[in-house]
Amino acid sequence: MSVYDKAHRLARSIRESDEYNEYQKIRSKVLNDEKAAKMLKDYQQQEINIQTKTLSGKEISEEEKKKLENLLKIIELNQDIKTYLEKEHRMNILINDLQKILFADLEMGIYDFAEEM
């Protein structure tokens, strides 16, 4: 079996997993609720703005921090959004864990950065 075939089998296994199906179910529910979808998108956009500023070395104002905190408090009152964020977090952990498993023992390139230190 080729590496590509195995990758497709893994992708299919993920799509068939309980974790993924639960995530898709709540994702669909949130996206079909116009108000919930807008609240979630507003929160995610604010979160991305803050992350972008942080990565570019810009300072985050207290007002921006407070706005994000307030948005989080508001969306956590919506049980569907709260559940969605929890399921999304679990899926991210799963994907990160799989990435570590798949690539942990691979040796790539010829330059050894450790020798330079």
pLDDT in tens, 57-74: 999 899 988 988 998 898
pLDDT of residue 116: 55
Q: Terminal CA-to-CA distance of the chain, rounded, Å?
A: 41
Residue 108, pLDDT above cutoff 90 = no
Residue 114, pLDDT above cutoff 70 = no
Residue 113, pLDDT above cutoff 80 = no
CA gap 85, 76 in Å, rounded: 9
Tell me the mean pLDDT in the region 43-57. 92
Residue 44, pLDDT above cutoff 70 = yes
Q: Which residues contact 94 (CB under 8 A, 6 or more apart)?
A: 14, 19
In order of start, what are the domains of the chain with their CATH numbers?
A: 3-104 (1.20.1500.10)
pLDDT of residue 25: 98
Q: What are the CA-CA distances from residue 50 to residues 53, 77, 116 (Å)?
A: 5, 22, 35
pLDDT of residue 115: 59
